[in-house]
């Protein structure tokens, strides 16, 4: 779910949050290895990086600004370990969810004009933007990445 808000130095314009309930994994792994808190946290951190990279891979590229702006950070709250993946690019939400068609009207003048236009116009019709999801599909792969990262820990 994308939200707008500001948190410290990172201000996300589009973000996806994922929390992993690690209790069932931790219980089983604790029996095997005995030190699961650190290992599960490490698996979640690797998953965070995998999801971030997947979002970057899926992001449409025109200039590369959106792709390079996708970052992530770990979040811990008690026994829950999670992460946040997002971007602070203003148009990120429009790319993820698309835009319906709309008309653009002048704010301070009677007409719109730009270099290259044949003449001033009263309004411009924007056809909208088709959605090109990149964050949501990456987040949906969390369980796949997490299981793969846990199996690497088990295999050590």
Per-residue pLDDT tens digits for 96-135: 999 999 999 999 989 999 999 899 999 999 999 999 999 9
For residue 152, CA distances in Å to 83, 91, 126 come to 20, 37, 49
Q: What is the pLDDT of residues 28-40, one digit of tens each?
A: 666 655 455 677 8
Alpha helices in 22-141 (DSSP H): 23-33, 36-58, 65-69, 92-97, 135-140
Is 144 strand, coil or helix? helix
Q: List the chain domain ranges.
A: 14-95+133-154
pTM for this structure? Answer: 0.70
Give CA–CA dist 128/29, Å, rounded.
Answer: 49
- Name the architecture of domain 14-95+133-154: 2-Layer Sandwich (3.30)
Residue 151 neighbours by CB distance under 10 Å = 10
Residue 42 neighbours by CB distance under 10 Å = 16
Average pLDDT over the chain, rounded to whole?
84
């Amino acid at each position: 779910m994308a939200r707008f808000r500001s948190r410290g130095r990172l201000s996300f314009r589009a973000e996806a949050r994922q929390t992993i309930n690690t209790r069932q994994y931790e219980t089983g792994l604790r029996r095997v290895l005995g030190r699961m808190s650190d290992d599960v946290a490490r698996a979640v951190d690797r998953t965070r990086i995998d999801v971030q990279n997947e979002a970057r891979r899926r992001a449409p590229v025109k200039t590369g600004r959106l792709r390079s702006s996708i970052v992530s950070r770990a979040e811990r709250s008690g026994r829950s370990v999670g992460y946040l993946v997002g971007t602070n690019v203003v148009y990120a939400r429009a790319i993820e969810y698309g835009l319906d068609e709309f008309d653009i009207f002048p704010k301070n003048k009677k007409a719109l004009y730009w270099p290259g236009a044949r003449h001033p116009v009263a309004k411009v019709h924007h056809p909208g933007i088709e959605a090109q999801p990149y964050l949501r599909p990456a987040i949906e792969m969390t369980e796949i990445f997490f299981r793969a990262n846990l199996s690497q820990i088990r295999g050590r």
